[in-house]
Amino acid sequence: MDVRLLLENTLPGLGYELVDFELTPGGGFRVFLDKPGGITVEDCVLVSNHLTRLFMVENIDYERLEVSSPGLDRPLKKESDFVRFSGQRAKIKTRMPIEQQKKFSGRLAGVVDGAVQLEFEGRTVAIPLAVIDKARLDPEF
Q: Express each pLDDT in 9-58 by its tens digit.
A: 999 999 999 999 999 888 899 999 999 888 999 999 999 999 999 999 99
Q: Is the pLDDT of residue 68 over 70?
A: yes
Mean pLDDT confidence for 60-78: 93
Pick from 68, 97, 119: which residue ends a domain?
68
Flag whether 73 is in a domain.
no
Q: Note the pLDDT of residue 1.
A: 64
Residues 61 and 89 in one domain: no
Q: What is the pLDDT of residue 19?
A: 94
- Over residues 86-131, the pLDDT tens digits come to 999 999 999 999 989 999 999 999 999 999 999 998 999 999 999 9
CA 43 – CA 35 distance, rounded (Å): 10
Q: Are residues 30 and 83 in the same domain?
A: no
- Which residue, 38, 68, 98, sits at the end of a domain? 68
Q: Which domain does 109 fall in, by range?
A: 79-137
Whether 118 and 91 share a structural domain: yes
Where residue 140 falls among pLDDT bands split at 50, 70, 90?
confident
- Domain co-membership, 84 together with 64: no
Q: Which residue has the higher pLDDT, 61 or 135?
A: 135
Return the sign of the alpha-carbon dihedral for residues 49, 53, 56, 60: negative
Ramachandran angles phi, psi of 126, nearest 5°? -100, 120
- Mean pLDDT for the stretch of residues 66-86: 93
- Same domain for 47 and 92, yes or no, is no
